[in-house]
Structure 1
Amino acid sequence: MKKLTIIDKYILKRYLSTFSVMLLLFIPVGIIVDVSEKINKILENKVPFVKVASYYLDFIIYFANLLFPIFLFLSIIWFTSKLANNTEIIAILSSGISFRRFLRPYIIGASIVSLFALLMGFFLVPKASEGFKTFRYMYLIGNGRNEMRETEDVYRQISDTEFIFVSNFNQAAKTGYNFVFEKFDGERLIYKISATSIQWEPKDSTYTLLGYNKRTIGELNDKIETENTKKMKFKFELDDLTPVIYIAETLNLTELNKFIEKERKRGSSNINRYLVVKYRKYSIPISAFILTIIAVAVSSMKRRGGMGINLAIGIALAFSYVFLDKIFGTLAEKSSINPIIAVWTPNIIYGALAFYLLRNAKR
């Protein structure tokens, strides 16, 4: 790699320092807004100060990761527009440096920020997401303890040959309704257990089944057992009957890959949601390069309206990127769209825009 020149160091320093200042300025604003909205609920529920402090530490990481594209885009627009208004860019390009060469410190800065975002997404953000979302469901959302888990039409494959289903689960009572357990040998059903309800008994780690019915499939005749109440032990855990809806967001990359593979074998209906979380860990860091190029191309020209025009364009582009990312992510979770296509579509669209703007900026 070629040695950095004084101009490279100057631009790289402005790139990283402006991005850091942007984070330091907006995160306290985000905390103040969140506190003003949630303070009544926090006081009403008498949440301990330690838990509130822990929540806002997680909030900082979660908030920074969520709005990472906006912070990055605005910081580059800001300091590059200042360079353009001070005619520093004209002076740099007039000295014989090509626009491509001018971009080098920006790409180095994007690489540093991208690596930081990648490591955060793999290790820090999952833990922060767990603390952030659990706190909100436990203390800030009405009836949140129930809403944080899947409670309706839960169908799970708990092993290669065993399947369970409950039509509804009451978290407070630890009771599931219209329970079904099926055991297979290949494609052949061996037996099927059904019950009007299944209740977890924490004292002895068993389940109590009401309206118990077991049908064992025979070659000529089926064997049927019925009991009003029956205690049983199963291999599955309570969380299998009522999984946390945001579980994938709380796992690091290694844990997430194992979890997705496990859920794929179980035939989980939420597999697309988990894949979206996984692919975003890679797409967000790559967006640093795309947004950097767009921001430089937009703000490197000195405009009649000054920095305000560049900031207006930057804000519009940054929020449209986040909007598209959310739209396509939701489509992947709720429809049959391939998750990897949905997650990468905003980067593809804005990558094409970056290429177009870069060609015009060179001229």
Structure 2
Amino acid sequence: MKIIDKYILKRYLVTFSVMLLMFIPIGITIDVSEKVNKMIEKKIPLKDILVYYGDFTVYFANLLFPIFLFLSIIWFTSKLANNTEIIAILSSGISFGRFLRPFMYGAVIVSIFALIMGFFLVPKASKGFNDFRYQNLKGNSQTRETSDIFRQIKKEGKLEENIYVSNYNYISRTGFNFTFERFNDNILVEKINANRIKYEPKTKKYTLYNYSKRTVGSVDDSITTLDKIELTFDFEPDDLTPVIYVAETMTIGELNKFINKERARGNGNINTYLVVFYKKFSLPISAFILTIIAVAVSSMKRRGGMGINLAIGIVIAFVFIFFDKVFGTLAEKSSIPPFLAVWFPNLVFGILAVYLLRNAKR
């Protein structure tokens, strides 16, 4: 690696790191100012708060990773252009493609770091962040999933089993208005209702309150009612947990196994899990695309100086985030294939990167 490569690579990584170190404390400060009253009111231990903000840092950095990376490259490349360093480099006979090489080295390092974080660190941080937020910082009405939760937990030949809860608190593992239905050849053969269902981790059983069971017979139905009963069901508490929350808190291996299990069950929410799964791979690739766009946009010395380059960079970064969020939501709520929806922003901005790079070379 030549001196120029080391010089640019160092500036790439240092500027990106400084950008993170600048904005993360700002994010923490804003979060503290919003939640400090509830923290004091509920007398949350300092140790728990520090752990929460450790998880918050990882969660926040991963969420805004594309913007941090893009703006940091725009910033230091614009400085190189304003100091006429880029003109000097290209005038020495180095091609623009050769000038871009150390930026690609930096993109490789950053994308590997983002990949490892997305696979292993972010899921753990996401779980800690969401658990703390819902358990300590939100009212009781917000600690439960407000939308109806319906899951198909088994489908083997003509046999089909479904569960339903109107609300579920994943902190206390308690669901409300629980219904279990078993069908045989699309005919209801058994139905269980309970006002409340609670999972017991020690026994790995479910406690049902105000229990009612109806068994459909050929002539008469059999009905059983009890105030309380412990039962074993063929589903996990995660099956009652909000969809996005489950997906975000799993490592890549756990998420892959979970998706295969839900696909076998015929779960209608499978697209939501697939979006999270594919994003773990698409985000690191975006590091290369955003690096090329940032260099192409900011390598030219402009009359307005760095401000113009930063303005262009901010617009492009937020358009990228907009595309990413919109198509991710479309994949979850419509028939658009999740793979296409997740990779579409990279495809569009990849084409833009090639176009800008060709113009920058000229």
Decide whether aligned partners of structure 1 residues 80 and 175 sit closer, same or farther in structure 2, where only a CA change above 3 A counts. closer
User: Cα gap change, 1:196/1:140 in structure 2, threshold over 3 Å: closer, same or farther?
Assistant: closer
- After TM superposition, give the deviation of residue 276 of structure 1 in Å: 0.8
Do the aligned partners of 2:175 and 2:198 also contact (CA within 8 Å) in 1?
yes
CA distance in 2, matches of 1:194, 1:136: 33
Distance in 2 between residues matched to 1:77 and 1:56, nearest whole Å: 29
Residue type matched to 1:258 in 2? K
Aligned equivalents of 1:266, 1:242: Cα separation in 2: 14
In structure 1, stretches of 5+ residues that fail to align are: none
Change (3 A) 1:174 1:13: closer
The equivalent residue for 1:193 is 191
Partner of 2:26: 29
Q: 1:251 to 1:153 in 2, by over 3 A?
A: closer
Q: Equivalent residues in 2 for 1:1-363 (5 A)?
A: 4-143=1-140, 146-147=143-144, 149=145, 152-158=148-154, 160=156, 161-169=159-167, 171=169, 174=174, 176-177=176-177, 179-182=179-182, 184=184, 187=185, 191-195=189-193, 197=195, 199-200=197-198, 202=200, 205=205, 206-208=207-209, 210-216=211-217, 221-222=218-219, 224-229=221-226, 231=229, 233-237=231-235, 239=237, 242-245=240-243, 246-363=245-362
- 8 A contact 1:199–1:209 mirrored in 2: no
Q: Identity of counterpart residues, as a percentage? A: 56
Q: Distance in 1 between matches of 2:148 and 2:192?
A: 17
Q: Find the aligned partners of 2:336 and 2:265 in 1 and give their Cα distance.
A: 21
User: Could you say what secondary structure the match of 1:46 adopts?
Assistant: coil
The answer on whether the counterparts of 2:67 and 2:318 sit within 8 Å (CA) in structure 1 is yes
Kept in 1: contact 2:271–2:331 (CA 8 A): yes
Pairwise CA RMSD of aligned residues?
2.4
Q: Distance in 2 between matches of 1:292 and 1:144?
A: 43
TM-score by length of 1: 0.90
Alpha-carbon distance change, 274 to 175 in structure 1, aligned in 2, over 3 angstroms: closer
Change (3 A) 1:301 1:138: same
> Cα 1:197–1:127, aligned 2, differ >3 Å: closer, same or farther?
same
Which deviates the most, 75-84 or 222-231?
Answer: 222-231
Determine the C-alpha separation between the residues in 2 that align with 1:275 and 1:241: 16
Unaligned runs of 5+ in 2: none
For residues 220 and 153 of structure 2, the distance between their equivalents in structure 1, rounded to whole angstroms, comes to: 24
SS of structure 2 residue aligned to 1:13 = helix
- Normalised TM-score (structure 2): 0.90
Aligned partners of 1:156 and 1:240 also within 8 Å: no
Letter in 1 for 2:213: Y
Structure 1 pair 261–24 and aligned structure 2 pair: CA distance change class (3 A): same
Q: CA 1:26–1:174 in structure 2 vs 1: closer, same or farther (change >3 Å)?
A: closer
How far apart are residue 238 of structure 1 and its match? Answer: 6.4
How many equivalent pairs are there? 353
Contact persistence 1:150–1:243 (CA under 8 A) = no
**Compared CA separation, residues 241 and 328, structure 1 to 2 (3 A):** closer
Residues 49-106 of structure 1: CA deviation (Å, up to 9, x unaligned) = 1111000000111111111111111111111111111111111111111111111001
Cα distance change, pair 141–232 in 1 and its aligned pair in 2 (3 A): closer
Cα distance change, pair 248–173 in 1 and its aligned pair in 2 (3 A): closer
Cα drift, residue 236 of structure 1: 3.1
CA shift, 1:209, in A, is 5.5
Distance 2:291 2:198 in 1: 53
Please tell me whether the aligned partners of residues 151 and 170 of structure 1 are also in contact (alpha carbons under 8 angstroms).
no
What's the offset of the Cα at 1:38? Answer: 1.2
d(CA) in 2 for partners of 1:125, 1:352: 29
Q: Give the Cα separation in 2 of the matches to 1:334 and 1:169.
A: 20
* 1:136–1:314 CA distance, 2 compared to 1 (3 A): same
Distance in 2 (CA, whole Å) between partners of 1:196 and 1:359 is 65
